[in-house]
Amino acid sequence: MKVLYFAWLRTKIGCAEEEISLPENVKTVADVLDLLRTKGDAYVEALGEDKVIRVAVNQDYAPLDHPVKQGDEFAIFPPVTGG
């Protein structure tokens, strides 16, 4: 699955995009966030409970219980500030 990071999440994690493979037991947005938090301190910090983040799956906003599968485009970013 392709994971994309934007704005301060990109700078904190240190990359804009990476490819991860999903273990069998990873079925929802919340599961993916848990998996990413095992990848190191920068991930734990960026995806901490105190951080307000948004997730999009295949370019639509997705809640924590939204299902995910290999091949999805998974994006993590802060609340938007355009306009």
Q: Which residues bind another protein (CB under 8 A)?
A: 4, 6-8, 10, 52, 56, 59-61, 75, 77-83
Tokens of 2: 């392709």
* Backbone phi, psi, residue 78, to 5°: -75, 165
CB of 28 to another protein, least distance (A): 20
CB nearer another protein, residue 33 or residue 53: 53
Tokens of 19: 């490819």
CB of 67 to another protein, least distance (A): 19
CB 52 within 8 A of CB 78: yes
CB of 16 to another protein, least distance (A): 10
Do the bridges between strand 54-57 and strand 17-19 make them parallel or antiparallel, or are there none, so unpaired? unpaired
CB nearer another protein, residue 38 or residue 81: 81
CB nearer another protein, residue 34 or residue 61: 61
User: How many angstroms separate the CA atoms of 39 and 19, rounded?
Assistant: 13
